[in-house]
Structure 1
Amino acid sequence: MTDKQNLNAGFTGTPTEQPEGLTKVAKSAANEMKREAYAVASGVREHPHTASALLLTTGIVAFGLGYLLGRSSAEGSTRPYWR
């Protein structure tokens, strides 16, 4: 067998028609998400202590807000719901 064969068994190249409409928007959004994820990952690699501190702080703030919202909704209703 030769190294270069003409295989037509599956898609191995680029599409001849350029995407348009919703397909174009979806591909563009996917590419942007990949770029942003790479940027975040490289930032975390360069500053691991800062990233972990931000994550921990965000978790503590979210927990505190959830706790306060839960307490305020429980205190606002004096009669039982199932009544």
Structure 2
Amino acid sequence: MSDKQNLNAGFTGTPAEQPEGLTKVAKSAAKEIKREAYAVTTGVREHPHTASALLLGTGILAFGLGYLLGRSAAEGSTRPYWR
């Protein structure tokens, strides 16, 4: 085995070649998502009442919208589902 390969690349946690193309975009997007998630969790920790009120309000709004859409779909159909 006199012909040894260079095994230094990849063992330090950073690749020898910088990512490019789709890999670079994916890594950048993942980094930004982690940063935004951290910002949201920090905001929720600092303002728990506001966060719970926003979550509750969004849930009530979504439920109401779904209820209204379901009722309008049921009332608009005069044909029975069975034949």
| TM-score for both structures, normalised by structure 2 | 0.84
Report what 2:77 is aligned to.
Answer: 77
| TM-score for both structures, normalised by structure 1 | 0.84
Report what 2:60 is aligned to.
Answer: 60
Q: Percent of counterpart pairs with the same letter? A: 89
Q: How does 1:1-83 map to 2 (within 5 A)?
A: 11-83=11-83
Unaligned residue ranges in structure 1 (runs of 5+): 1-7
What is the aligned-residue RMSD (CA, Å)? Answer: 1.5
Counting matched residue pairs gives: 75
4+ residue runs of structure 1 moved beyond 6 angstroms? none
> In structure 1, how many angstroms separate the alpha carbons of the residues matched to 2:72 and 2:81?
15
Superposition deviation, residue 80 in structure 1: 1.7
Unaligned residue ranges in structure 2 (runs of 5+): 1-7
> In structure 1, how many angstroms separate the alpha carbons of the residues matched to 2:70 and 2:49?
32
